Amino acid sequence: MACHLQWALAQVNMPTPYSVGAALPPQTAPTRMNPFLQAVLGTGARPDWTTTCSVTEADAQMLKMQESSFLGVDGATSLKAEITGKIPELNSAAHYRSARKLVQDLGGAPALKEELIYSGYVDSDTSKLTLLDRPMNIFALLASGTMKQPDSEPEQDLLGTFKSKFMICKNKLENDINWDNPDMKWVKTSSMARQHRFLTTRDLHYQWFNPLMFGLVPADDGGVNARAALAEVEQMKAAALHFAKNNGWSDKVGLFVNVFGHNNVNSLFIHVLDMSELGPAFSYHDFKNMPLDDVIKVLREEAASNFLPAPVKTTDLPGLLEKAGARRRRDTTNDARGTGNFFFAGTDGATSVKAEVVGRLPIIKDAASFRAARRMLTEELGGMATLKEELARSGFIDPVTGNLTTGTRPFNVFARIGGGVMTQPGMDKEQEYLQEFKDHFIVCSNLPANDEHWDSDDKEWVGKASMSKRHRFLTIKDLHWQWFNVLGFGLLPESKGGAGLGRAIALVEVMKAAALRYTAICPGWTNRVGLFFHVFGHNSVNSLHLHILDMAELGPTFWHYEYKNCPLDVVLKVLKEEASSHSTGAESYGLMAEVTAAATEAAKAAAAAAEAALSASRPSVRCSDGLEILTLNVGGELFTVSRQIMLQAPPDSLLHQMFVEDTVRLSNLDANQRPFLNYPATAFRYIADHLRLLAQLPKTNVLQPLTVPPSHEKQVRELAWILGVEDMVLCTPQYGRNGKAAALRPQLGRSFCCMRRRAQHGEISSQLSNSSQV
């Protein structure tokens, strides 16, 4: 690597976790590095993250308190996602009981209120639900009269005296029309019964936004206790039944709620269903349809025991509430000035950047969707500042150091491995395959059971098992939060300690080089290597991990996750587009170009190493005389031949080129790592056997063209033509190639090639003579 590249890359130091906090043990410090890696990954002085961090010490203490309960299930960055991850079914009194206990463990009503303020659903000054276009909270808008549904007034009258407190809402017309449509396009969104309405409350205080909060909001925040909440819910039930009776429904009325975590709207709605005619959507949503009677049952239990919400674990929450409120006021002020809307659209009730990304971009697997995700983050979702706040709030970032946390709550597995606090059994040897890259990256494995079930199509394993027979992850030892996911690569401003877009591009290039180096040296891998990222929103772990797959043997889980397998080359393409479109100075642009060129050079070097290693790893035996014996799979049949035999074919022929050392033409391997040739086995054998004879024949003797039985003649001739040996094998006599053997005596005539055949010929001639005399 040229010295000037080392200098250029050294100008943009990448912050590493070694620069903050307690010093690492000597054995974890970086060791030998080649110039390129030293330049890209850096070892020099780093920014002081305690001065650039936007979270206060008080906030940090609050987050440390929360660590005892927040696990970050499936990479959750919000209370809503954590509840969904821990309680995937929420349709019974037992589930509801567990959810209420969980939310108290996670900080209670104040923590949930902060999340709703953060995402724009609650006004911090009034504690009421907001009435904005972004986020759009449909039932709050209807209850307040801000939005009206056509022809809804007659149905409000059916509520009778309950009309002043509650409101009846309809589904979309097309959803009602398709209530019994079995097409999955409609099952997910259509009404759950032929008669399906929603009951909501006109009281917009946040304590009524969802049953999860009923009776849990402190009195000093306007909340009521469990007994008063119970009375309110019993009135809701009475209102819904009164409406159904007055509307002429059957006496089989079902009332259901979707508890926070499984709700898609962050304002109260009770499903009111005529159970005499249910559609397929009811069964589809069964996992989250909580009977209202179960809510009443649990509230009665709490009221009878004089239940009081657990006290908040820290006094620092008001500080976060104020911070969220200040940000909300700032953003709405900007909106009034025409400088942009609040960043959440609230898609499917999203209360986090992560959920918003998934809601608006359900597929991120190509350049267009990755480009859209980055633009959404920077232009609509508040950029890296909002992303950092979300990760810090959920405990994934140490607010003092700016590094990813490595504790157990939340459990961030790749950060723990990268930080050296966790090791995987049996993976020490595989780190050696990274060679010089091992000082900065770590190869990680899946759970053994997930590897074992890579090809299982059982629903228990699809989505959990490894995506390929050979599936590894590459993670980074640098735990600075800007590298937690490719969505934010290069977006953190240098004034905030960011590495810059050029360094981000270089890092991706180096990860590619490291992954290819690993697969080139590690036994068993083919050269059909796939490298994929899961972009934030669709990721299940909030620390960097590159999926390394052997594409020669993919399992069902790969296709299950096809919608979010974003190729590394796609990430590179988009990052390079952004770099070329930025109006940077000539010096900065030249520096970035040199960084990219150096990284590309490293990637090419790794690819070359993979190519060489591929040849070395092919199933072959080299004899003492230099003869190399290859075992091939030809059309499904095993075939053993020496490389030298096949190289007798004309140099410009496909057959010759196929067997040249280090060629990629033998790179397609079967399940047993044997080179696979997709040719008819019998026809190939005829040609190869002819070349074997030619190799054994002395140079002074001539081998006649191959004669093939009529049943195989057409196929052999066509294959010889394709392989470029038609003239050599089928048309023109060839002198032998064995220079060490003595000349052979002339062959006997074809009719008398041996004594046995000579005797048979005599018997046949005698028979023919006798028959002619008769």
Q: Residue range 613-641: average pLDDT?
A: 70
Place of tokens 């075992």: 631
**Does 363 score more than 60 pLDDT?**
yes
Question: Does an H or E element contain 197, and which?
Answer: strand 196-201
**Which residues is 166 bridged to in the sheet?**
201
- CATH number for the region 78-319 comes to 3.30.428.10
**Does 105 score more than 60 pLDDT?**
yes
Structure confidence by residue, pLDDT tens digits, 549-570: 999 999 999 999 999 999 999 9
Banded model confidence at residue 329, pLDDT cuts 50, 70, 90: very low
Q: Residue range 311-338: average pLDDT?
A: 45
Structure confidence by residue, pLDDT tens digits, 189-201: 999 999 999 999 9
- Please give the pLDDT value at position 695: 92
* Cα–Cα distance, 476 to 707 (Å, whole number): 62
- CATH number for the region 620-743 comes to 3.30.710.10
Are the C-beta atoms of residues 485 and 576 closer than 8 Å to each other? no
User: In this structure, what token pair is assigned to residue 774?
Assistant: 């008769």
Banded model confidence at residue 727, pLDDT cuts 50, 70, 90: very high
* Cα–Cα distance, 257 to 214 (Å, whole number): 13
**Mean pLDDT score of the chain, rounded to an integer?**
81
Helix (H, G, I), strand (E, B) or coil at 51: helix
Amino acid at 264: N
The DSSP result for 454-469, as a single string, is TT---TTTTTTS-SBS
- Please give the pLDDT value at position 311: 59
* Cα–Cα distance, 263 to 267 (Å, whole number): 9
Question: Residue 418's Cα: distance from chain center in Å?
Answer: 19
- Please give the pLDDT value at position 38: 57
Cα angle 142-144-148, degrees, rounded to a multiple of 5: 35
| Distance, first Cα to last Cα, the chain | 94
**Does 152 score more than 70 pLDDT?**
yes
Place of tokens 């033509």: 721
Q: Averaging pLDDT over each range in 4-8, 23-27, 53-57, 668-672, which range is the top one? A: 668-672
Banded model confidence at residue 98, pLDDT cuts 50, 70, 90: very high
Are the C-beta atoms of residues 488 and 536 closer than 8 Å to each other? yes
**Does 768 score more than 80 pLDDT?**
no
* Cα–Cα distance, 155 to 170 (Å, whole number): 10
- Please give the pLDDT value at position 315: 37
- Please give the pLDDT value at position 344: 59
Number of H helices, E strands in the chain: 31, 16
Q: Which residue has the higher pLDDT, 619 or 53?
A: 619
Tell me which of 89-98, 442-451, 631-640, 706-715 is least confident: 631-640
Q: Residue range 6-21: average pLDDT?
A: 32
Banded model confidence at residue 382, pLDDT cuts 50, 70, 90: confident
Which of 107, 116, 538 lies closest to 344 in space, CA to CA? 116
Tell me which of 131-140, 347-356, 711-720, 734-743 is least confident: 347-356
Structure confidence by residue, pLDDT tens digits, 600-613: 565 565 555 545 44
- Please give the pLDDT value at position 493: 86
**Does 49 score more than 80 pLDDT?**
no
CB atoms within 10 A of CB 750: 8
Are the C-beta atoms of residues 165 and 201 closer than 8 Å to each other? yes
Q: Where would I find the beta strands (DSSP E) of 245-366?
A: 253-257, 270-274, 290-291
Place of tokens 């919608």: 563
Structure confidence by residue, pLDDT tens digits, 214-224: 999 999 999 99
Q: How many CA atoms, within 13 angstroms, populate the side-chain half-sphere of residue 680?
A: 15
User: In this structure, what token pair is assigned to residue 392?
Assistant: 């810090």
Q: Is the dihedral of CA 81, 86, 89, 95 positive or negative?
A: negative
Map out the domains of the chain as residue ranges.
1-51+394-617, 78-319, 620-743
Amino acid at 528: R
Q: Residue range 704-708: average pLDDT?
A: 94
* Cα–Cα distance, 20 to 406 (Å, whole number): 14
Place of tokens 């590249």: 5
Q: Residue range 124-136: average pLDDT?
A: 91
Structure confidence by residue, pLDDT tens digits, 493-539: 888 889 889 899 999 999 999 999 999 999 999 989 999 999 999 99
Banded model confidence at residue 333, pLDDT cuts 50, 70, 90: very low
- Please give the pLDDT value at position 662: 57
Phi, then psi, of 9 in degrees rounded to 5: -70, -30
The model's pTM is 0.62
The 3-state DSSP composition of the chain as helix, strand, coil percent (nearest 5) reads 50, 10, 40
